């Protein structure tokens, strides 16, 4: 059993897919527009997403790109276009598998279960992305817009901790406890590391792109607008 998000604007197709998946004991949610789906994924991450490429509000590859910026959830794209170039493009944009419409419930379920098996046996560590930053905690590698970032151990830990909480203001006290593993210490230590990190990210405190200091509270990482 899995939690599946079905993103499909055609009500007839959508209800047929939902009926079939529910009949196979999956918990199913649905959305008819890409932006509604992205909001849903951000708030209640499903186990797998079935994404129709012909949605009214966003182009399929655009939707996939935005989805990948916030989540590593397995995605099966459903496309009416029997077009190899399109399929290759989608797989490169982060889709895990694809189905060409029309497909049977049985076919969808087989793909879905194969995907879930792979996802569940894969190591837990995943690549974290915030805007142009991507970070692999397992390999301890970080990239900015595809270029490797040369970070010290502490800088990496600091960036990884912040990237794990995008949009959240993290206090210095929390950073000290979680990154430095100290219950008390010197705020300056953190500020110095933040300024080194800023330099490597090509920004300054007065002109931040990713690292935003919230005076008297802490620091927040978010993708540049």
Question: Distance between CA 210 and CA 156 in Å, rounded?
Answer: 15
Min. distance of Cβ 15 from Ca ion in angstroms? Answer: 14
State which residue has the least CB distance to Ca ion: 54
Nearest by Cα to 37 from 70, 85, 1: 70
Question: Distance between CA 151 and CA 157 in Å, rounded?
Answer: 9
| Beta strand pairing call for 147-148 and 133-136 | unpaired
Question: Please, which residue, 54 or 164, has the CB nearer to Ca ion?
Answer: 54
Min. distance of Cβ 194 from Ca ion in angstroms? Answer: 45
**β-sheet with 128-130: strand ranges across:** 128-130, 133-136, 141-144, 147-148
Nearest by Cα to 74 from 126, 27, 26: 126
φ/ψ of 142, rounded to 5, equals -135, 145
Min. distance of Cβ 8 from Ca ion in angstroms? Answer: 6
**Residue ranges in contact with Ca ion by CB under 5 A:** 9, 52, 54
Question: Distance between CA 210 and CA 132 in Å, rounded?
Answer: 9
Question: Please, which residue, 41 or 50, has the CB nearer to Ca ion?
Answer: 50
Question: Please, which residue, 52 or 96, has the CB nearer to Ca ion?
Answer: 52
Question: Distance between CA 175 and CA 221 in Å, rounded?
Answer: 13
The 3-state DSSP class for residue 214 equals strand
130's tokens: 């915030």
Question: Please, which residue, 54 or 131, has the CB nearer to Ca ion?
Answer: 54
Min. distance of Cβ 1 from Ca ion in angstroms? Answer: 27
Question: Please, which residue, 52 or 155, has the CB nearer to Ca ion?
Answer: 52
191's tokens: 């500020």
Min. distance of Cβ 10 from Ca ion in angstroms? Answer: 5
Question: Please, which residue, 35 or 205, has the CB nearer to Ca ion?
Answer: 35
Min. distance of Cβ 97 from Ca ion in angstroms? Answer: 18
Min. distance of Cβ 31 from Ca ion in angstroms? Answer: 12
**3-class SS string, 85-100:** HHHHHHHHCCCCEEEE
């Amino acid at each position: 059993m899995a939690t599946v998000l079905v993103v499909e604007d055609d009500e007839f197709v959508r209800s047929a897919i939902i009926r079939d998946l529910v009949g196979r004991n999956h918990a199913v949610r649905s959305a008819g527009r890409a932006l509604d789906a992205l909001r849903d994924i951000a708030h209640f991450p499903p186990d797998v997403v079935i994404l129709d490429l012909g949605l009214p509000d966003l182009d399929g590859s655009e939707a996939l790109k935005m989805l990948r910026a916030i989540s590593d959830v397995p995605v099966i794209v459903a496309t009416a276009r029997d077009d190899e170039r399109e399929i290759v493009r989608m797989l490169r944009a982060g889709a895990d598998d694809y189905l060409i419409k029309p497909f049977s419930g049985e076919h969808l379920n087989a793909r879905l279960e194969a995907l879930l098996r792979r996802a569940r046996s894969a190591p837990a560590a995943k690549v974290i992305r915030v805007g142009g930053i991507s970070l692999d905690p397992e390999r301890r590698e970080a990239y900015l817009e595809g270029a490797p970032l040369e970070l010290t151990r502490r800088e990496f830990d600091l960036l990884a901790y912040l990237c794990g909480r995008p949009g959240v203001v993290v206090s210095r006290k929390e950073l000290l406890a979680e990154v430095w593993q100290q219950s008390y210490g010197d705020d300056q230590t953190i500020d110095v590391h933040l300024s080194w990190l800023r330099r490597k990210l090509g920004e300054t405190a007065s002109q931040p792109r990713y690292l935003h200091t919230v005076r008297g509270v802490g620091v927040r990482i978010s993708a540049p607008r």
